[in-house]
Amino acid sequence: ATFVAQRAAAPPGRGPGHGHPQSAAHKPKLGRGTKATSASEPWQPYGAADVPLAEVLRYFLWWYKKTRQEKKYPFIDLLSAVPLQQIYGCPLGGIGGGTITRGWRGEFCRWQLNPGIYHYETVIADQFTVCLRRKGLTVYQQVLSVERPRTLQDWNWGYCGHYAFYHALYPRAWTVYELPGQNVVLTCRQVSPVIPHDYQDSSLPVGVFIWEVENGNDEDVEVSIMFSLQNGTGTKEDKRGGHWNEPFAFEKEGTRVAGVVLHHCTPVNPFSLAISAREKAGTRVSHFTAFNPTGSGKEVWQDLLQDGQLDSPAGESAPTEKGEVVAAAVCASCAVPARGHGTLELALAWDMPRVHFGSKEKLHLRRYTRYFSSEGDAAPALSHYALTRYEEWEKKIEEWQKPILENSQLPPWYKSALFNELYFLTDGGTIWVELPPDCCAEDVQGPAGAGLSQLLPVLREYGRFAYLEGQEYRMYNTYDVHFYASFALIMLWPKLQISLQYDIAVTVVNEDVQLRQYLMGGETAQVKLKNVVPHDIGEPGDEPWQRVNAYLVHDTANWKDLNLKFVLQVYRDYYLTQDSLYLQDMWPVCQAVMESELKFDKDNDGLIENGGFADQTYDAWVVTGASAYCGGLWLAAVCMMCKMAEVLGDRETMQKYSAILQKGKESFERLLWNGKYYNYDSSGNVTSRSIMSDQCAGQWFLGACDLDQGQFEVFPKSHVASALRTVFEKNVLGFAGGTMGAVNGMMPTGAADTSSVQSKEVWVGVVYALAATMIQEGLVEEGFHTAEGCYRTVWEKLGMAFQTPEAYCEKKVYRSLAYMRPLSIWSMQLALERRAARAPAPPAQAGAPRP
Ligand X SMILES: C[C@H](CCC(=O)O)[C@H]1CC[C@H]2[C@@H]3CC[C@@H]4C[C@H](O[C@@H]5O[C@H](CO)[C@@H](O)[C@H](O)[C@H]5O)CC[C@]4(C)[C@H]3CC[C@]12C
- Judged by beta carbon, residue 27 or residue 565, the one nearer ligand X is 565
- What does the DSSP assignment read for 133-162? EETTEEEEEEES-S---SSSTTS-----GG
Q: Which is nearer to ligand X, 521 or 750 (CB)?
A: 521
At residue 786, what are phi and psi to the nearest 5 degrees?
-60, -50
Closest CA to 796 of 162, 28, 167, 82: 28
CB of 573 to ligand X, least distance (A): 21
Given the complex with ligand X, which of 329 and 552 has the nearer CB atom?
A: 552
Q: Which is nearer to ligand X, 155 or 613 (CB)?
A: 613
Nearest-angstrom CA–CA distance, 286 and 301: 14
> Min. distance of Cβ 760 from ligand X in angstroms?
12
Neighbour-count burial of 137, counting CB atoms closer than 10 A to its CB (0-12 exposed, 13-18 middle, 19+ buried):
exposed
Exposed / middle / buried, residue 839 (Cβ in 10 Å: 0-12, 13-18, 19+): exposed
Q: How far is the CB of 237 from ligand X (least distance, A)?
A: 29
DSSP 8-class letter at 796: I
Cβ at position 47, least distance to ligand X in Å: 8
How far out from the chain centre does Cα 548 lie?
Answer: 21
**Which residue, 9 or 54, has its beta carbon nearer to ligand X?**
54
The CB density around residue 513, as the number of other CB atoms within 10 Å, is 9
Whole-Å CA distances, 341 to 14, 142, 184, 219, 336: 10, 20, 10, 12, 6
Query: DSSP letters of 47-58?
Result: -GGGS-HHHHHH
Nearest Cα residue to 231 out of 149, 288, 293: 293
Angle at 710 between CA 709 and CA 715, to 5 degrees: 50
Contact 91, 803 (CB under 8 A): no
Q: How far is the CB of 821 from ligand X (least distance, A)?
A: 8
- Which residue, 434 or 619, has its beta carbon nearer to ligand X? 619
CA 533 to the chain's CA centroid: 23
C-alpha 603: how far from its chain's center? 41
Q: Which residue, 58 or 72, is less far from ligand X as judged by CB?
A: 58
Taking Cα atoms as reference points, which of 223, 205, 204, 200 lies closest to residue 213?
223
Instruction: Give me the least distance between CB of 547 and ligand X, in Å please.
Output: 16
Provide, rounded to whole angstroms, the least separation between the CB of residue 688 and ligand X: 21
Please name which of 483, 486, 472 lies closest in space to residue 118, comparing C-alpha atoms.
Answer: 472
Q: Which is nearer to ligand X, 372 or 618 (CB)?
A: 618
- Residue 56 CB, shortest distance to ligand X, in Å, is 6
| Shortest Å distance, C-beta 60 to ligand X | 9
CB of residue 48 vs ligand X: minimum separation in angstroms? 7
What count of other Cβ atoms lies within 10 Å of the Cβ of residue 666? 13
Q: How far apart are CA 222 and CA 73, in angstroms?
A: 50
φ and ψ of 529, to 5 deg: -95, 160
Is 353 within 8 Å of 373 (Cβ atoms)?
A: yes
* Residue closer to ligand X (CB basis): 146 or 557: 557
- Cα 109 to Cα 93: distance, rounded to the nearest angstrom: 14
Where b means 16+ CB within 10 Å and e means fewer, 497-511 reads: bbbbbbbbbbbbbbb
| Amino acid identity at 387 | L
Residue 786 CB, shortest distance to ligand X, in Å, is: 19
Distance, in Å, from the CA atom of 745 to the CA atom of 760, rounded to the nearest integer, reads 6
Minimum distance of ligand X from residue 619's CB (angstroms): 5
Query: Residue 92 or residue 757: which is nearer to ligand X going by CB?
Result: 757
Q: Is 350 helix (H, G, I), strand (E, B) or coil?
A: strand
Task: For ligand X, give the closer residue by CB, 303 or 619.
Answer: 619
Give the angle subtended at the CA of 627 by the CAs of 623 and 629, to the nearest 5°.
95
Min dist. Cβ of residue 807 to ligand X (A): 6
Shortest reach from residue 57's CB to ligand X, in Å: 8
Residue burial 327-350, b: 16+ Cβ < 10 Å; e: rest: bbbbbbbbbbeeeeebbbbbbbbb
Strands (E), 324-402: 327-336, 341-351, 354-355, 364-365
| Nearest residue to ligand X on Cβ basis | 617
Taking the complex as a whole, how short is the minimal distance between the CB of residue 820 and ligand X, in angstroms? 9
User: 78 or 349: whose CB is closer to ligand X?
Assistant: 78
Q: Which is nearer to ligand X, 81 or 489 (CB)?
A: 81
Provide, rounded to whole angstroms, the least separation between the CB of residue 5 and ligand X.
39
Minimum distance, C-beta of residue 76 to ligand X, in the bound complex (Å): 5
Residue whose C-alpha is closest to residue 33's, from 73, 84, 72, 86 = 86
Footprint on this chain of ligand X (rule: CB under 6 A): 51, 55-56, 58-59, 76, 78, 469, 473, 475, 478, 480-481, 519-522, 551, 553, 617, 619-620, 757, 806
The residue (of 202 and 617) whose beta carbon lies closer to ligand X is 617
Judged by beta carbon, residue 366 or residue 554, the one nearer ligand X is 554
What gap in Å lies between CA 665 and CA 714, rounded to an integer? 7
Task: State the amino acid at position 470 in one-letter form.
Answer: G
List the one residue out of 745, 740, 768, 751 whose CA is nearest residue 43.
740
Helix (H, G, I), strand (E, B) or coil at 778: coil
How far is the C-alpha of 458 from the C-alpha of 443, rounded, in Å?
15
C-beta of 335 vs 553, nearer to ligand X: 553
Nearest to 180 by CA among 230, 203, 219, 146: 146
The least distance separating ligand X from the CB of residue 744, rounded to whole angstroms, comes to: 10
Between 276 and 624, CB nearer to ligand X: 624
Closer Cβ to ligand X, 619 or 788, answer by number: 619
